[in-house]
Amino acid sequence: MTTFAKIVAAVALVALSGAAFAQSYPDHPLTRAEVRQQIVLLEKAGYDPFTSTSQTYPADLRAAERRVQAERFSTSQRAAHDAVLLNASAAQ
């Protein structure tokens, strides 16, 4: 296995493991600011608590949570890709 392939594998492993722990529960109760931040992220992902009905509420919220997770995952993938490019250019 080449050095470049090892670097790519290591960066991918770190990025994926970080995404796995992103949704873990905090060791402390959430602060108001943290709750507000979560609400803002859900609203940016398209969730509107004022238009959801009792029938659509769970599905609407889950869909917004999936979009937030997808955005976080794509952000971590971009960071991993940038790290690989940086390491590759430094190795040359």
Q: What is the pLDDT of residues 43-58, one digit of tens each?
A: 999 999 898 888 899 9
pLDDT tens per residue, range 65-87: 999 999 888 887 777 777 776 67
Question: Which pTM value belongs to this model?
Answer: 0.54
Q: d(Cα 22, Cα 69) in Å, to the nearest integer?
A: 9
* Tokens standing for residue 64: 């917004």
Q: Which residue has the higher pLDDT, 26 or 33?
A: 33
Q: d(Cα 41, Cα 28) in Å, to the nearest integer?
A: 20
* In the predicted structure, residue 19 carries a pLDDT above the cut 60: no
Q: Whole-angstrom distance between the N-terminal and C-terminal Cα of the chain?
A: 17
